[in-house]
Amino acid sequence: VEGNVNCRFENGEPVATRGIFRDITDRKRAEEEIRESEAKYRELSDSIDDIFFALDENLKYVYRNKAAEEITGIVSKDVIGKSPDDVFPDNKYTRRAMSVYRRVLKTKMSESFINKCMIKGRYSIFEFSVYPSKKGISIFIKDITKRKEAEESLRESEEVIRAQFRGIPVPTFTWQRAVKDFILIDYNDAAAMITKGKIVDSLGKKASEMYKDNPGIQRYMVRCLKKRAVIKKEMQYKYKTTKDV
């Protein structure tokens, strides 16, 4: 109950009292539910490994989870009430992030993007997911540095392997299994040379079409695939592209 009591005095003595009381049970229950909801929200956000923080309508920090502190090394109490561009260096990455934050705040449409951030003296790569909220925006940030480094390492390895494939001195063709057939998907430089460049016209063609006059070749291809072994066979073959034997 919430009340307000007034006394009336005459000659310095109280002669009457008036009080107004109202039931505030529902309001207190609602306030308690909000407090419990906020506590669960904070507990949940603090349990995730990714960075999470909330900005108000002026793009000022109002909340940061534990991961944000641990990953950046910046204590939340030192940034609450500040803008990200007050905390992080003024560079193209910070400006890009702030531009997206302003756009999401204006359009009320979520956005995702990949950006770099200077963290503890080195640049790391992060995936940002920005969502509009009632009083600002919420941002989830995932560190994808290791994934991007692995992708770059794989790309470099593939380039090396491809260069080696292109440089094999023997005409070499790459076929892809397609149900009961094979489709030509690649060839090396030696293959291009021996066919005088005309092999490019055969990309995407089926083995059954290219070797219809010599079906044994396709049988060897099937055997090679099934046994996962090298199949060697000498034969006389006329290239359809050049008519050379």
- CB-based burial label for 125 (10 Å; 0-12, 13-18, 19+): middle
In the numeric block, the tokens 């419990």 are attached to 36
Residue 113, phi then psi, degrees to nearest 5: -160, 160
Q: Which of 81, 93, 132 is nearest to 110 (CA)?
A: 132
Return d(Cα 236, Cα 222) in angstroms, integer. Answer: 20
pLDDT digits (tens, 9 = 90+) for 208-236: 988 888 888 888 888 888 888 888 888 77
Quick one: pLDDT at residue 20?
A: 63
pLDDT digits (tens, 9 = 90+) for 106-140: 999 999 999 988 877 788 899 999 999 888 999 99
Q: Is the pLDDT of residue 46 over 60?
A: yes
pLDDT digits (tens, 9 = 90+) for 150-178: 888 888 888 888 888 889 999 999 999 98
pTM value > 0.75: no
- Percent of the chain whose predicted confidence (pLDDT) is above 90: 35
Token pair, residue 105, equals 């705040």
- What band does 205 get if pLDDT is binned at 50, 70 and 90? very high
Return d(Cα 180, Cα 48) in angstroms, integer. Answer: 48
Return d(Cα 83, Cα 56) in angstroms, integer. Answer: 10
